[in-house]
A and B are shown apart, each in its own frame.
Chain A
Amino acid sequence: MKVIENNEKTKIHLKINGNVYEYETEPRRLLVHVLRELGFTGVHVGCDTSNCGACTVIMNGKSVKSCTVLAVEADGSEILTVEGLAKDGKLHPIQEAFWEKHALQCGYCTPGMIMEAYWLLNENPNPTETEIREGISGNLCRCTGYQNIVEAIKSASQKLRINQTPYQHQ
């Protein structure tokens, strides 16, 4: 059993958007802060009680609120952030749809919202309006009133389904 003392640091490895990062961290440090320190500043902090979802990333295939995971806990995991969605400068269909449908204003919730949508459409490629609304209910937005976000996710689901070769990360 490995024991790390309070003030001691330990080395962790995270595979973020396909690349491996090594990081020394105290056990108490939150994954969200480590991701941001590593340069993934699209991962945002909107609250301190796990309500807002601005910090949402995909960790080992699941959408998680990275403010509610310790960095040490995430050791060895694969993480996808919004920075990793566009490929070779081409936007992911969800990003495209957010732009087309005016699904963002200040943009602060947007990275987390897009990652949640990414996960949602993976789980359920053809969601109903209610399923979309429930699917993003862990992600708060103060600007848009959500309607255009729902529209964007509907449109992205269509784009992804029409696409013969479904968009795949990596």
Chain B
Amino acid sequence: MHYIGQPIKRIEDPRLITGHGTYVDDLVFQGTKFVAFLRSTKPHARIKIAKREGIFTGEDINPGKDFPIATNETTYIGQPIAAVIAKDRYEAYDLLESIEVEYEDLPYVIDPYEALKDEKKAYSGLKSNIYINKTYSKGNPEEAIKNVDFVIEDELINQRMIASPLETRGILAYFDGQRLNVWSSTQSAHFLRRNLVQFLNYSNIRVIQPDVGGAFGSKIIAHPEEYAVSKLALKLGIPLKWVPTRTEEMISAGHGRDKSMRFKVGFNKNGKIMALMGTIVGDLGAPYSDANDDESGNVLSTTKMVLGPYDIPNASVTAYAVHTNKVPTTSYRGAGRPEATYFIERIINIIANELKMDPIEIRLNNVVKPNEMPYDNGFGIVYDTGDYVDILNKAKKYYTELSAEAKEKGYCTGLAMYVEITGFGPWEVARVFTKSDGKIIAITGSGPHGQGDATAFAQIVAETLEIPIENIEVKWGDTDIIEDGIGTWGSRTVTVGGSAMLKAAQELKSRFIEIASKMMNADIEELEYKEGTITHKTENKKLELSDIIKYAYKNGISLDVTSVYAVSKPTSPYGVHMAMIDVDKELNKMRVIKYIALDDIGKVINPMLAEGQIHGGVLQGIAQALYEGAKIADDGSLLNSNLGDYGFPTAVESPEIKWYYIEKGLSAHPTGSKGIGEAGAVVSTPVIVNAVENCLGKRIKTMPLSLGDSL
């Protein structure tokens, strides 16, 4: 019964393909009322709202404060400033129109470089717009750059994106007089619970994460509306539901990336980079602390990872995270690592073009060598395992073929490499127990929302217990059914959640064996466990799991195991991706024809699911290169606030993607795996931009390319 490593079909699918999933807006209690929020139309203003019956303001949610709901001062267009409660969503939106708001404009700042000057504060309560200012250094770049053959200085922009999961956020909250019950489209029931407990100063809270229609980082934090609806539900004692429109979603949530790097790089004739200096500026948007805590960590990730898989001996990079009067930015698939990969891979491509060097050769001249692993990059990150030289050599074969085809057909090719950090701690929980009828229930503390981890967990438990996968039911997303949990993000679930699951399953298995030893009056060493049957090695005795389970319940022995798996360091997958692109200069049109991904993510638990993650991530990264980006006007308003204008790709724009993997660099976790949830989005953006740049022979600085600025 080998399940690990097999392309097992998803156990999640039957409900979802028949329309029987339960997403938050599918739920309703008798008497549920609908909540809608009025949102600021000004980037920075003092506000006064005429209070009336049925209209709730910041004073009702967070008296005297401007976050989560603005009370006196609003700091971005889209910020919630009042809420209404009505019979249904139609009447709620009618009611919104009747609210009177007086705005008194305040000076606002949209451009992060202007915000750095600190002349206009994004919020009157700020001492400075600068939230983080931190420099990472190694070697002596000032000196080293004097002795190189070439120096290039420039700026690269990684634009603001909107995560845009197909299901927006949404919440249903109901206080039963003792306990607040909350259903939310979130990435973690447990993390949301902890946030609500703190905000409401009330601990009898149960949070349920029902089916969630994607998130891509946008549903990690507790959003202002989630706090507000929970507070109102606690206060009013009636079931309340909130689901925003797509336009509201786009003007208020899921904004990510939005970083730029000004750099100076020194390199030699062979393409070897000797010194890198630069400044990375990340735009945090308005000072909403839940978002800022999330995104400022991502700005640091960008900076700590900006050296890529390369051994750059001298480097100094300063990170700024700065407030502006825009939607607070949060994690978006990759959470800081895509920007890092983008900057360094673009720099490498620029150098390669300058020297007319092969893209693989220049990388071979710079990568960390296998005998240097584990490798401390000097900016606070250790790459644990892998062989970057080997994967480049393997990529050479594909790239040579692709280039030959491109030459024949008049297309262009480009390539990029990445190293990633995944599997973040601090811990994750798993619980595995056996019902008296023999059913095995496996519960994870993480919160899958599309990635298919439940299937991977079932594989892990089935393989450990050597029983058919059908005997296992996997559950998650309810703070009542497991001790605690962290959540699903940072490509951590299969690896960290899976290691917790593996530990719990192993412990349950030992418990089975212990009970059998009691039943057979034998030492544990005398027993052998195989496919759910325990046999005595020398005597002719055997027990089935069903016998053991019956005995356990009858004798008051619990078959319920919870294990907490603690993690200290992330683990680093890596890979090389490449693409063939058709660039039509006259029509200003670009189309990706073929895309090849080659990854090492350690042990692959389920190749079908891992490949699905690559497909999805790669298209999101391609879309950043070619189509998507939040267009923000000078007054801070979002110009493309719907899925038509925003550039969201359809099946027509998506290319054929081929995925290959090697399993050379296993992680130290019990699963041996590394994360792949974000890898596609981390690397595909520079792959595409490099290809277009190679085609045009002209340096590209901004995205998305289809806007035509680059041509």
Could you list which residues of chain A lie within 8 angstroms of chain B, going by C-beta atoms?
26, 28-29, 33, 36, 40-49, 51-52, 54, 81-83, 85-86, 91, 95, 98-100, 102, 104-111, 114, 132-134, 136-150
Min CB distance B221 to A, Å, is 19
Min CB distance B258 to A, Å, is 19
Contact indicator B10/A102 (Cβ below 8 Å): yes
Chain B residues near A150 (CB-CB < 8 A) = 651
B13, B245, B612: the one within 8 Å of A98 (CB): B13
Contact indicator A105/B452 (Cβ below 8 Å): yes
Could you list which residues of chain B lie within 8 angstroms of chain A, going by C-beta atoms?
9-10, 12-23, 25-26, 89-90, 164-167, 211-214, 216, 245-247, 449-452, 608-609, 611-612, 614-620, 642-644, 648, 650-652, 654, 656-657
Q: How far is the CA of A142 from the CA of B647 in the complex (A)?
A: 12
Contact indicator A48/B214 (Cβ below 8 Å): no
Contact indicator A133/B652 (Cβ below 8 Å): yes
Q: How far is the CA of A146 from the CA of B246 in the complex (A)?
A: 21
Given contacts A105-B451, A140-B650, contact A47 B21 (CB under 8 A): no
Q: How far is the CA of A132 from the CA of B656 in the complex (A)?
A: 13
Given contacts A41-B26, A99-B10, A106-B450, contact A54 B19 (CB under 8 A): no
Q: How far is the CA of A42 from the CA of B608 in the complex (A)?
A: 25
Contact indicator B657/A83 (Cβ below 8 Å): no
Contact indicator A108/B167 (Cβ below 8 Å): yes
Contact indicator A105/B18 (Cβ below 8 Å): no
Min CB distance A101 to B, Å, is 9
A interface majority secondary structure: loop
Q: How far is the CA of A46 from the CA of B643 in the complex (A)?
A: 9
Contact indicator B643/A114 (Cβ below 8 Å): no
Q: How far is the CA of A33 from the CA of B245 in the complex (A)?
A: 13
Given contacts A83-B18, A104-B16, A136-B651, contact A143 B23 (CB under 8 A): no
Chain A residues near B245 (CB-CB < 8 A) = 48
Contact indicator B19/A42 (Cβ below 8 Å): yes
Q: How far is the CA of A141 from the CA of B649 in the complex (A)?
A: 9
Chain B residues near A91 (CB-CB < 8 A) = 14, 17-18
B18, B617, B618: the one within 8 Å of A82 (CB): B18
22 residue pairs A–B, Cβ–Cβ below 8 Å: A26-B90, A40-B19, A41-B22, A41-B23, A42-B21, A46-B167, A46-B213, A48-B246, A49-B643, A83-B20, A85-B18, A98-B13, A104-B13, A107-B17, A107-B213, A108-B165, A110-B17, A134-B652, A140-B648, A142-B166, A143-B612, A145-B654
Chain A residues near B17 (CB-CB < 8 A) = 82, 91, 95, 98-99, 104, 107, 110-111, 114
CB-CB nearest in chain A for B22: A41
Given contacts A28-B90, A145-B657, A149-B651, contact A107 B642 (CB under 8 A): no
CB-CB nearest in chain A for B611: A102
Given contacts A81-B19, A147-B615, contact A102 B609 (CB under 8 A): yes
A46, A82, A99, A147: the one within 8 Å of B656 (CB): A147
What 10 pairs across the A-B complex have the smallest Cβ distances?
Answer: A42-B19, A108-B213, A107-B16, A106-B450, A145-B615, A145-B619, A105-B450, A41-B26, A82-B19, A146-B651
Chain A residues near B19 (CB-CB < 8 A) = 40-43, 81-83, 111
Chain A residues near B212 (CB-CB < 8 A) = 106
Most A Cβ at <10 Å: residue of B164, B167, B651: B651
Given contacts A91-B18, A143-B616, contact A51 B165 (CB under 8 A): no
CB-CB nearest in chain A for B23: A108
Chain A residues near B449 (CB-CB < 8 A) = 106
Chain B residues near A33 (CB-CB < 8 A) = 89
A40, A49, A83, A147: the one within 8 Å of B654 (CB): A147
Chain B residues near A144 (CB-CB < 8 A) = 612, 615-616
Contact indicator B247/A109 (Cβ below 8 Å): no
CB-CB nearest in chain A for B333: A142
CB-CB nearest in chain A for B12: A107
A28, A47, A107, A140: the one within 8 Å of B450 (CB): A107
Contact indicator A145/B16 (Cβ below 8 Å): no
Seed contacts A46-B213, A105-B450, A134-B652; 12 additional CB < 8 Å A-B pairs: A46-B246, A52-B166, A83-B20, A100-B9, A102-B10, A106-B449, A108-B214, A110-B17, A132-B651, A134-B651, A140-B648, A145-B618
Chain A residues near B642 (CB-CB < 8 A) = 47-49, 51
CB-CB nearest in chain B for A46: B166
Q: How far is the CA of A149 from the CA of B619 in the complex (A)?
A: 14
B23, B643, B650: the one within 8 Å of A47 (CB): B643
Most B Cβ at <10 Å: residue of A28, A29, A86, A147: A147
Min CB distance B8 to A, Å, is 10
A95, A108, A133: the one within 8 Å of B651 (CB): A133
CB-CB nearest in chain A for B617: A145
Most B Cβ at <10 Å: residue of A85, A141, A149: A141
B22, B165, B609: the one within 8 Å of A142 (CB): B165
CB-CB nearest in chain A for B215: A106
Most B Cβ at <10 Å: residue of A28, A134, A145: A145
Chain B residues near A86 (CB-CB < 8 A) = 18
Min CB distance A109 to B, Å, is 5
Q: How far is the CA of A142 from the CA of B215 in the complex (A)?
A: 9
Q: How far is the CA of A49 from the CA of B608 in the complex (A)?
A: 34
Contact indicator A51/B619 (Cβ below 8 Å): no
Chain A residues near B25 (CB-CB < 8 A) = 36, 41, 45
Contact indicator B166/A109 (Cβ below 8 Å): yes
Contact indicator A146/B612 (Cβ below 8 Å): no
Chain A residues near B247 (CB-CB < 8 A) = 48-49
Min CB distance B580 to A, Å, is 16
B9, B615, B648: the one within 8 Å of A99 (CB): B9
Chain A residues near B165 (CB-CB < 8 A) = 106, 108, 142
Q: How far is the CA of A144 from the CA of B10 in the complex (A)?
A: 14
Q: How far is the CA of A109 from the CA of B166 in the complex (A)?
A: 7
Min CB distance A103 to B, Å, is 9
Min CB distance A23 to B, Å, is 14
Chain A residues near B450 (CB-CB < 8 A) = 105-107, 143
Chain A residues near B12 (CB-CB < 8 A) = 107
Contact indicator A140/B652 (Cβ below 8 Å): no
Q: How far is the CA of A146 from the CA of B614 in the complex (A)?
A: 12
Contact indicator B23/A95 (Cβ below 8 Å): no
CB-CB nearest in chain A for B451: A105
Min CB distance A163 to B, Å, is 19
Chain B residues near A136 (CB-CB < 8 A) = 650-651
